[in-house]
Amino acid sequence: MGRIFSGIQPTGGLHLGNYLGAIRNWVKFQDLHESFFCIVDLHALTTLPDPKQLRLDIRGIAAAYIAAGIDPERSYIFPQSAVSAHCELAWVFACLTPLGWLNRMTQFKEKAGKQRENANLGLYAYPVLQAADILIYKATHVPIGEDQKQHVELARDIAGAFNRQYGIEYFELPVPLILKTAARVMSLRDGTSKMSKSDPSDYSRIHFMDDPDTIALKVRKAKTDPDPIAGTPGAMENRPEALNLLGIYAALSDQSLEEVCRQFEGSTFALFKKNLTDQTIMVMEPIRQRILSLLDDQTYLDTILKKGADKARELALQHLNEIQEMVGFIKV
């Protein structure tokens, strides 16, 4: 029986990539493992969001987790900032992490872009805090989309560096869990770039809060090509938009890509898009409705977050005490 940890940044609302790449899998894993699902507001601060909006987004993500099937009776849902041990462990890890490791992080390079000198320290140190998020709970498994794999690998390296430095196998190396279908959901406008909240085009992604008409419009406008659907994924190698839409359908209907290709072989995209619209609405509309009703009950949401934070704090403090002892701090 392992322990699960994962998190999402509370900025810009959630999209289908977050659902298919992460949350949907969390729902499956929570039955098997003790699970901590965090709303990583400290990470979100790297973009300096408007404080009022950040507060709304934190509760919005909590509502979305529950609406999408995270059971607050079994799993712990909490804001990262409520457990200060994340930051305390991040400092210990910062002192063990060579700059060379951080310089390899592709997400920093993407986010900092050409303005590297102006990027803040928080953005640069971001993966160290992420390692602390996972390891302060001694989590063994981290369900994520493909884009976070490098960060979890860094967490493994940092855990190993800690163990070597203090001569004890204190941390088990956490394992990234990336499910094959929808590990990387691509933009609806460009099959070679990831569906992302930072894409300037709203038509590139489907949001949790999109109503059925908006979903239908976005799917209709999604980029495709004029050829009919082939019977195997291999026969569509150079058709990234086609493969992306089929992959989304496969994930939403719990089928393999191969099965979906066989099912729609020879069909036009006009016809397939009708099926994709129906399938997306069937999965996402009940989630949107539940989010709306959860957002009406802030007291309930705050009770869930407090319960999650209390449990998380207790476990994190227990580990932090052990770690502080190991590195040589004294209790006063």
Encoding tokens for residue 147?
């884009």
CB of 328 to ligand TYM, least distance (A): 27
Q: Which stretch binds ligand TYM (CB under 6 A): 3-11, 157-165, 252-260, 274-282?
A: 3-11
Distance from the first to the final alpha carbon of the chain? 36
Q: Which of 18, 97, 204, 277 binds ligand TYM (CB under 6 A)?
A: 18
Is residue 223 annotated as a catalytic residue, yes or no?
no
Please tell me whether residue 8 binds ligand TYM under the rule CB under 6 A: yes
Give min distance, CB of 135 to ligand TYM, in A: 10
Q: Which residues pair with 176 in a beta bridge?
A: 142
* By CB under 6 A, residue 147 contacts ligand TYM: yes
Look at the block and give the residue holding tokens 């058709």.
Answer: 239
142 binds ligand TYM (CB under 6 A): yes
Q: Are 197 and 206 in contact (CB under 8 A)?
A: no
**Integer Cα distance of 18 and 28 in angstroms:** 15
Alpha carbon 307 to its chain's center: 22
Q: Per the residue annotation, which of 111, 149, 307, 311 is the catalytic one? A: 111
**From the CB of residue 212, how many other CB atoms can be counted at a distance below 10 Å?**
15
Q: Does the footprint of ligand TYM cover residue 35 (CB under 6 A)?
A: no
Interacting residue with ligand TYM among 56, 102, 170, 184 (CB under 6 A): 184
Task: Name residue 147's amino acid.
Answer: D
Contact pattern for ligand TYM over residues 82 through 121, marking x by CB under 6 A: ----------------------------------------
Here the contacts of 235-241 (C-beta below 8 Å, separation 24 or greater) are 236/261, 239/191, 240/186, 240/191, 240/192, 241/186, 241/190, 241/191
Report the alpha-carbon distance of residue 88 to residue 65 in Å, rounded.
Answer: 27
Q: Which of 41, 57, 133, 210 binds ligand TYM (CB under 6 A)?
A: 133
Query: Least distance in Å: CB of 145 to ligand TYM?
Result: 2
Q: Which of 70, 134, 230, 320 binds ligand TYM (CB under 6 A)?
A: 134
Instruction: Round to whole Å and give the CA distance between 146 and 178.
Output: 6
Beta carbon of residue 9, minimum distance to ligand TYM (angstroms, whole number): 4
Convert 53-91 to b/e letters by CB count within 10 Å (16 or more is b).
ebeebbbbbbbbbbbbebebeebbbbbbbbbebbebbbe
Question: Which residue in the set 24, 33, 43, 273 belongs to the binding site for ligand TYM (CB under 6 A)?
Answer: 43
Note whether 130 binds ligand TYM by CB under 6 A. Answer: yes
One of 4, 7, 108, 219 touching ligand TYM (CB under 6 A): 7
Q: Is 179 in the site for ligand TYM (CB under 6 A)?
A: no
Is position 6 an interface residue for ligand TYM (rule: CB under 6 A)? Answer: yes
The minimum distance between CB 111 and ligand TYM, in angstroms, equals: 10
CB–CB of 191/241 below 8 Å?
Answer: yes
| Of 1-9, 67-75, 214-222, 277-285: span binding ligand TYM (CB under 6 A) | 1-9
CA distance 326 to 305: 31
**Residues tagged active-site:** 111, 194, 197
Q: Interface with ligand TYM by CB under 6 A: which residues?
A: 5-9, 17-18, 21-22, 40, 43, 130, 133-134, 142, 144-145, 147-148, 151, 184-185, 194-195
